[in-house]
Amino acid sequence: MTSEHTPEQPDNAIEPAPASPEPLSEAPVAPAAAAAPAANPTAQRQRASQLAQALRTELQKALIGQTAVIDDVLSALIAGGHVLIEGVPGLGKTLLVRALARCFGGEFARIQFTPDLMPSDVTGHAVYDLKTEQFKLRKGPVFTNLLLADEINRAPAKTQAALLEVMQERQVTLEGRALNVPLPFMVLATQNPIEQEGTYPLPEAELDRFMLKLRMDYPEQSEELNMVRQVARSSKADMLEVTALRTLLQARDVLALQKIASDLSIDEQVLDYAVRIARATRTWPGLAIGAGPRASIALVRCGRARALLRGGDFVVPDDIKGCALAVLRHRVRLSPELDIEGLSVDQVLQQLLAQVPAPRL
């Protein structure tokens, strides 16, 4: 288990870079004040969109290609959800999280999940102090803003379950005391495909707590060529640098982004569309288990975040449809017949999305 903390300012500023976008909060304020509505909602919404787009541009400097994955991670950050990123080793899953932490001025911690990791290594534990002859609580790395749970499925279920309470309730119970974690709080977990040796499948209750499950695939040839060209010039062996990235937002700015996104307008027909998609999974042929109401909520929250990221003033059906695969793929289960036929969850969900009619606004 290791823990990293992101400094307030990067060590090296990138040369001639465009000016950083104006922060959403001008001075350090309490989280509640940062989330207060602005006097001019339209101007505040435009500034929030510019900040989110600038963050996307900054992340693309560190992670070449994977544009869709970057957008989905930013959508989850704005929506206040957690992300599970799956892919074979070496595709940049950890690099993406480290780059996001570099652009974020809040607290960042990393836990490397291993088979011998204990739940107390994640949440913390009580330590006996010989001087005071009393037990003191030692908080674990989970008390942070951004938590990287690296290779989460390398640890057994009892250790994975240590994240259940904090992911849902933003608190950890230690020695009978409920301790709140700092806000914003986001878990970004990476995992290797479960077919690989030495992996443990995540329990259903934990999977459902992730707003999105993203699949990171191999880059295109041109992107891989560009990546190799950049890494070949680096002094850090096969690593891409993240030290040159700028710190664009603080914890209070993330809270403000989340508040602005939650206030975006959504038509009743679009809301109904999100619910119909989630409900269709429960009766769809070929799906043994469908998605619960948490999926409907995640579709709407993520749709609002995508609308803000693209600079929109309201949510459109494409915002809901664009995040549906990532919201649903880990909440449903294929029937044994389709599994034997070699069909994937994504293929079945794409068929479902093509059949559920979208509203015309």
309-344: pLDDT as tens digits:
999 899 999 999 999 999 999 999 988 887 777 788
In a domain, residue 31? The reply is no
Instruction: Report which of residues 289 and 32 the model is more confident about.
Output: 289
Q: How many domains does the chain have?
A: 2
CATH code of the domain containing 86:
3.40.50.300
23 pLDDT above the threshold of 80 = no
Q: Do 83 and 197 sit in the same domain of this protein?
A: yes
In a domain, residue 21? The reply is no
Average pLDDT over residues 14-25: 49
Q: Do 198 and 49 sit in the same domain of this protein?
A: yes
In a domain, residue 227? The reply is yes
- Comparing 23-32, 41-50, 142-151, 287-296, the range with the smallest average pLDDT is 23-32
User: pLDDT-derived band of residue 72, with 50, 70 and 90 as boundaries?
Assistant: very high
Q: Do 298 and 236 sit in the same domain of this protein?
A: no
In a domain, residue 216? The reply is yes
pLDDT at 293: 93
CA distance 277 to 115: 37
Q: Do 238 and 332 sit in the same domain of this protein?
A: no
Residue with token string 């996001």? 100
158-169: pLDDT as tens digits:
888 889 999 999
Q: Do 303 and 339 sit in the same domain of this protein?
A: yes
Q: Do 319 and 295 sit in the same domain of this protein?
A: yes
Q: Do 75 and 223 sit in the same domain of this protein?
A: yes
Q: Do 229 and 268 sit in the same domain of this protein?
A: no
Q: Where are the alpha helices (DSSP H) in the chain?
A: 31-34, 41-62, 67-79, 93-102, 119-123, 157-160, 164-169, 204-207, 221-232, 251-262, 268-280, 293-309, 317-328, 336-341, 345-355
Of 201, 219, 254, at which residue does a domain stop? 254
Of 196, 220, 254, at which residue does a domain stop? 254
- Comparing 64-68, 142-146, 280-284, 329-333, the range with the smallest average pLDDT is 64-68
Instruction: Report which of residues 239 and 94 the model is more confident about.
Output: 94
Beta carbons of 239 and 231 less than 8 angstroms apart: yes
In a domain, residue 34? The reply is no
The range of the structural domain enclosing residue 206 comes to 1-10+39-254
Average pLDDT over residues 206-235: 82
Please name which of 49, 56, 62 lies closest in space to residue 10, comparing C-alpha atoms.
Answer: 62
What's the mean pLDDT when you consider all of the chain?
A: 83
CATH code of the domain containing 335:
1.10.8.80
Instruction: Report which of residues 360 and 194 the model is more confident about.
Output: 360
CA distance 273 to 355: 12
Q: Do 146 and 280 sit in the same domain of this protein?
A: no
45-56: pLDDT as tens digits:
899 999 999 999
Sign of CA dihedral 70, 75, 78, 83: negative
Beta carbons of 63 and 261 less than 8 angstroms apart: no
- The structure's pTM equals 0.82
pLDDT at 257: 93
190 pLDDT above the threshold of 50 = yes
Q: Do 278 and 231 sit in the same domain of this protein?
A: no
Of 222, 254, 286, at which residue does a domain stop? 254
User: pLDDT-derived band of residue 131, with 50, 70 and 90 as boundaries?
Assistant: confident
Q: Where are the alpha helices (DSSP H) in 63-200?
A: 67-79, 93-102, 119-123, 157-160, 164-169
pLDDT at 239: 55
